[in-house]
Chain A
Amino acid sequence: LTVDGWLQIALFTVAIALSVRPLGGYIVRVFRGERTILGRLFGPIEWGIYRLAGIDPAAEQGWLGYALALIAFNGAGLGALYAIQRLQGLLPLDPQHFPAVDAALALNTAVSFASNTSWQSYAGETTLGYLTQMAGITVQSFLSAATGIAVGVALVRGFARRLSPTVGNFWVDVTRAVLYVLLPIAASATLFLVWQGVPQTLDGTIGITTLQGGQQLIARGPVASQIAIKMLSSDGGGFFNANSAHPFENPTAATNLLEMVLIFVIGAGLTNTFGRMIGNERQGWALLAAMGMLYAAGVAGIYAAEAQGNPSLAALGINQGPSALQAGGNMEGKEVRFGTAMSSLFATVTTDSSSGAVNAMHDSFTPLGGGVLMANMMLDEVIVGGVGSGLFGMLLFAIVAVFVAGLMIGRTPEFVGKKITATEVKMTMLALLSVPLAILGLSATASVTGPGLASLGNAGPHGFSEILYAFTSGTATNGSAFAGLNANTPFYNLTLALAMFIGRYFVIVPVLAVAGSLAAKQIVPRSAGTLPTSGSLFVMFLVGVICIVGGLTFLPALSLGPIAEQVTMQAGRLY
């Protein structure tokens, strides 16, 4: 642990905190259809899309219509991405002439990017042509992020509206999210990345002669445009296999900071959007405070674990302390240029959100550090989370918290003026239970079947961690990997596709049902018996509920993996 490391973590945290109000306010104006500074540029395009698609922007949908539109839209996108991959050999813009992607891998990748997960069982630079990367992967990064934002905004409308049969128009929300929120930020970030040295070209791989006289192929392509939205969308699917550890994806300290900021910026800003739309900005800050406490605990835990290093190396007399020549700590699998602090922060940010981009290999983190990464994802994407999905995940836990508090004080629970009744609690339970069901059920299945065990790169608790991490990452729509697991097999391609599908759509549907149910209700005025939900007491209570639910659900599984491995590592045994 160094002062430099903490200062860099503080710099990132302050950058996010400063972005919350301006971006949150801007997003409110976008989804209220008010004039924005980009209206003159994108307004004609927006109206052109509505006319072309036959959309009446004034016609709103009930929650079921909204959900069915989302399912149809995502289904079409998933099908298109699958088709592009399978037809790749016939399509242009493929200077390396890659063949069609294997069917099971194509299905896994299509589900992965349509669901905003970006789990990658392939290496981009040796599998996908430029058209597939641009028209397939990059387009889905935009659309899946826009879908998440739309669902988040629909739920916020549920809280904000009174006696309304509708929650918005899905087509309008997705269009506005892409045009006014994602596109401008991604375009600006692309230019910055190009300036910092990230390639943006349609030229093919180049061959070079190395210093030893050997021949080497250097992959490149339209990287910057994909990396910008990869980060902003909390999607995280890299152009290259090494993701943001690759110098062409993340060449400098400035790009490293920018990429982390892009991952968090919309998710954090949406808490302010929530506060403003319900007319209580303080409530938005309360949600962000709960996220911030969990974020701070995660980054401190991982940084401490990684800075401590590996006791087996210490026993051999190897100096793992920080000095002018080394960052110190556990540097296995980490980029020397990022060191322990920035690797720990990046890993925290990417697992707090649903990003899954990595600048270090999570498989090589200490067991405790890797366990915290898993715990971040197991908490259901509520620590800032994915764009939109972080907000609705946190709001689901807020519903659970007021429900539990209501039981404790003997009153019908209320949250921001809406009475929380059996309907909302049932839907919340359906959404929250589908995640552990997929993670634990599929991890258990993989742990006792031949195809599941055949892909392991390590034995013992570390091997179990590889399985648990994969299904946690898939279900939480994160996409990062414990790289020791060979996931490009029919078993893992299909089971992980199932995990990602459940983790996305079997959560979104009940969330929209909650939105519809809440929107139809009257807003009740505050009274002396109303539980305050924007103060520090509720924030602590909310964090407690999240940790207790997460702990009760996943602690047994974590005990068999990272916790057991940490204990055995202290005793000198490695896996």
Chain B
Amino acid sequence: MSDLLMLALIVAGFAAATVYAQFCDGLVLRPIGTAETEN
């Protein structure tokens, strides 16, 4: 297998991790007006 393919896989992996972090950030920052109820 070629180096180009392996490097593409490495870049794709870390790009996916970056997108995943942004996705998680979207979940952390809840939309305004959705305050959670507490007992």
Residues of chain A within 8 A of B13, CB atoms compared: 111, 501, 505
Pull 24 A–B residue pairs with CB atoms less than 8 Å apart, ordered by A.
A64-B21, A68-B18, A71-B18, A75-B10, A75-B14, A79-B7, A82-B7, A103-B6, A104-B6, A107-B6, A107-B9, A107-B10, A410-B39, A411-B39, A422-B36, A426-B27, A430-B24, A494-B9, A501-B13, A505-B13, A505-B17, A509-B21, A513-B24, A516-B28
Residues of chain B within 8 A of A107, CB atoms compared: 6, 9-10
Residues of chain A within 8 A of B14, CB atoms compared: 71-72, 74-75, 78, 505
A-contact 0/1 string along B1-39, CB 8 Å cutoff: 111011101100110011011101101101000001011
Given contacts A86-B3, A103-B3, A509-B17, contact A423 B25 (CB under 8 A): no
Tell me the bound Cα distance from A516 to B27 in angstroms: 12
Q: Which A positions have Cβ atoms within 8 angstroms of B?
A: 63-64, 67-68, 71-72, 74-75, 78-79, 82, 86, 103-104, 106-107, 110-111, 410-412, 419, 421-423, 426-427, 430, 490, 494, 497, 501, 505-506, 509-510, 512-513, 516-517
Residues of chain A within 8 A of B24, CB atoms compared: 427, 430, 509-510, 513
Tell me the bound Cα distance from A62 to B21 in angstroms: 12
B39 in complex: contacting residue of A412, A497, A509, A516, CB < 8 Å: A412
Residues of chain A within 8 A of B30, CB atoms compared: 422-423
* B27:A78 contact, CB within 8 angstroms: no
Tell me the bound Cα distance from A501 to B30 in angstroms: 28
* B38:A71 contact, CB within 8 angstroms: no
Tell me the bound Cα distance from A510 to B5 in angstroms: 28
* A419:B28 contact, CB within 8 angstroms: no
Given contacts A71-B17, A509-B17, A513-B27, 5 further A-B contacts (CB under 8 A): A64-B21, A79-B10, A110-B10, A423-B30, A512-B21
Smallest distance from the beta carbon of A122 to chain B beta carbons, Å? 15
Smallest distance from the beta carbon of A295 to chain B beta carbons, Å? 31
Residues of chain B within 8 A of A490, CB atoms compared: 1
Residues of chain B within 8 A of A423, CB atoms compared: 27-28, 30
Given contacts A86-B3, A422-B36, contact A517 B9 (CB under 8 A): no
Residues of chain A within 8 A of B25, CB atoms compared: 63-64, 513
B36 in complex: contacting residue of A71, A421, A505, CB < 8 Å: A421
Residues of chain B within 8 A of A421, CB atoms compared: 36
* B9:A427 contact, CB within 8 angstroms: no
A71 in complex: contacting residue of B3, B9, B21, CB < 8 Å: B21
Residues of chain A within 8 A of B6, CB atoms compared: 82, 103-104, 106-107
Smallest distance from the beta carbon of A512 to chain B beta carbons, Å? 8
Closest B residue to A497 by CB, please name it.
B9
Smallest distance from the beta carbon of B8 to chain A beta carbons, Å? 11
Interface centre among B9, B24, B25 (most CB of A within 10 A): B24
Smallest distance from the beta carbon of A370 to chain B beta carbons, Å? 30
Closest A residue to B11 by CB, please name it.
A75
* A513:B28 contact, CB within 8 angstroms: yes
Residues of chain A within 8 A of B18, CB atoms compared: 68, 71
* B38:A412 contact, CB within 8 angstroms: yes
Closest B residue to A504 by CB, please name it.
B17
Smallest distance from the beta carbon of A427 to chain B beta carbons, Å? 6
Given contacts A82-B6, A103-B6, A423-B30, contact A506 B20 (CB under 8 A): yes
* B10:A427 contact, CB within 8 angstroms: no
Tell me the bound Cα distance from A278 to B8 in angstroms: 42
Top 3 A-B residue pairs of the complex, sorted by shortest distance between their CB atoms = A75-B14, A513-B24, A505-B17
* A78:B10 contact, CB within 8 angstroms: yes
Tell me the bound Cα distance from A63 to B25 in angstroms: 9
Closest A residue to B35 by CB, please name it.
A421
Smallest distance from the beta carbon of B34 to chain A beta carbons, Å? 9
Closest B residue to A75 by CB, please name it.
B14
* B21:A68 contact, CB within 8 angstroms: yes
* B20:A509 contact, CB within 8 angstroms: yes
Residues of chain B within 8 A of A497, CB atoms compared: 9
Smallest distance from the beta carbon of A4 to chain B beta carbons, Å? 48
Tell me the bound Cα distance from A512 to B24 in angstroms: 10
Residues of chain B within 8 A of A411, CB atoms compared: 39
Smallest distance from the beta carbon of B2 to chain A beta carbons, Å? 7
Residues of chain B within 8 A of A75, CB atoms compared: 10, 14
Closest A residue to B2 by CB, please name it.
A103
Residues of chain B within 8 A of A111, CB atoms compared: 13
Residues of chain A within 8 A of B7, CB atoms compared: 79, 82
* B27:A419 contact, CB within 8 angstroms: no
Tell me the bound Cα distance from A423 to B30 in angstroms: 8
A104 in complex: contacting residue of B1, B17, B39, CB < 8 Å: B1
Smallest distance from the beta carbon of B39 to chain A beta carbons, Å? 5
